[in-house]
Amino acid sequence: MGRLDDRVAIVTGAGRGIGRATALRLAADGASVVVNDIDAEPAAETVSLIEAAGGSALLHVADTVELEQAHGLTKAAVDGFGKLDIVVNNAGITRDKMFHGMTDEIFDFVLDVNLRTAFHTTLAAMPYLREVAKAEIAADGKVAYNRKIVFTSSVAALMGNPGQYNYTAAKGALIATTKTLARELGPFGINVNAVAPGFIETRLTQAKTDSSDLGIPQQMRDMSLMLIAMGRLGVPEDIANVHAFLVSSDADFVSGVTIPVTGGQLGGM
């Protein structure tokens, strides 16, 4: 018996990194998982890994910057598995630039991928989360079980980070979103929380090269390690474990909070 048996989850940005680790963990806990990403090949790999481990998953390639595609994603979950219980808004990207050099194009791109995708995916999920819960309350006086929404924010939104005005603006907005939606949706038995990863080994934190827009300078990586009390950089599974807790019944009375997962990073609270 898994603690997410008979639950259906969407994980956005699930082709790589934290999203893939989260999809794998939720499936291992018994959930049927809709793997969403804009890149079909890595997302298909995630589905294959879930199925190889005996789990249940389906692939849905969509860019939920577009609301219509977000509606397609949530409908695919219900068409494929009969319902929707969990939404993990994980899609994200960085395009670092010091504030004085920030452009509208870079700003908008990062806000779209980190914030607008979460807005649209969550909005598209409302008929299957809020409205279903509302009907249960009308019929039985209570919800059948708690449903869950989780956002992947960042510790950078809690402490600031030079060169990441666009990223921290988006991730900070997700923290505010978490607090507001927790208040709006709590009466319908929907828990809304966020995870704020510290330094996690992903393609966004790899050593930057001249040929890629992703990554950070090696010097920054080295400095980050010096600030982590646990003495190691985080891995995607560290975040997936907290996502899995928040979407489980173990967290039914946890809502409106942002949990930093930083390994005791100095300044990370």
Determine whether 167 is an active site residue: yes
Beta strand 8-11 with 32-37: parallel, antiparallel or unpaired?
Answer: parallel
Distance CA 63, CA 259 (A): 27
Confidence bin at 269 (pLDDT 50/70/90) = very low
Please name the amino acid found at residue 200: I
105: DSSP letter: H
Mean pLDDT of 58-65: 98
> Is 23 in contact with 50 (CB distance < 8 Å)?
yes
Distance CA 189, CA 187 (A): 6
Rounded to two decimals, the pTM is 0.92
Catalytic residue among 128, 145, 165, 167: 167
Provide, for the chain, the percentages of residues in helix, strand and coil under a 3-state DSSP scheme, each rounded to the nearest 5: 50, 15, 35
Place of tokens 């985080």: 234
Alpha helices in 141-195 (DSSP H): 156-159, 165-185
Q: Measuring CA to CA, which residue among 171, 130, 134, 131 is closest to residue 152?
A: 171
Q: Render pLDDT for 64-99 as a digit per residue (tens, 0 to 9).
A: 999 999 999 999 999 999 999 999 999 999 998 998
What single DSSP character describes residue 101? G
The answer as to CATH 3.30.413.10 being correct for domain 8-200+234-261 is: no
- Dist CA 142 CA 248 (whole Å): 18
Instruction: Provide CB contacts within 8 A for 139, sequence distance 6+.
Output: none
10-47 residue pLDDT tens: 999 999 999 999 999 999 999 999 999 999 999 999 99
Range with the lowest mean pLDDT among 100-104, 163-167, 205-209?
A: 205-209
Tell whether the model's pLDDT for residue 175 goes beyond 60. yes
pLDDT band per the 50, 70, 90 thresholds, residue 62: very high
- What is the CB-side half-sphere exposure of residue 105 using CA atoms within 13 A? 1
